[in-house]
Amino acid sequence: KTSLGAANAVNIWKEAVEYDEPTNNEQQNGDETFCKMLDSVRHGCVTDETNHTLKSHIFKVSIQKNIRNSAVK
């Protein structure tokens, strides 16, 4: 009975809340190169150039270092 109640709560939430689903991504807006790269990734057709570009933007900071710096603050 509890799990059925939880399922009903989800349905109530969907019926009670209104929202507008975005139709475009503002981060991509106006950047044709970025849009094409994301499309190629989305379709699984990543070129060597796209792969190189994406890899060149990887942050090279360790998670442990970030955690230590956050703990000090």
The model's pLDDT over 13-49, given as tens digits with 9 standing for 90+, comes to 677 777 666 666 666 667 888 888 888 888 899 999 9
The count of residues in the chain is: 73
Residue 1 maps to a domain: no
Residue 57 maps to a domain: yes
Look up residue 55 and give its DSSP letter. H
- Full residue range of the structural domain in which residue 68 is found: 31-73
Quote the pTM value.
0.41
Q: So what's the pLDDT on residue 28?
A: 61
How far from each other are the two terminal CA atoms of the chain, in whole angstroms? 47
Q: How many domains does the chain have?
A: 1
Extract the tokens encoding 70.
């956050």
- Write the burial class of residue 6 (CB in 10 Å: 0-12 exposed, 13-18 middle, 19+ buried): exposed
Q: So what's the pLDDT on residue 38?
A: 84
Residue 8 maps to a domain: no
> What torsion do the CA atoms of 14, 19, 20, 26 make, to the nearest 10 degrees?
-110
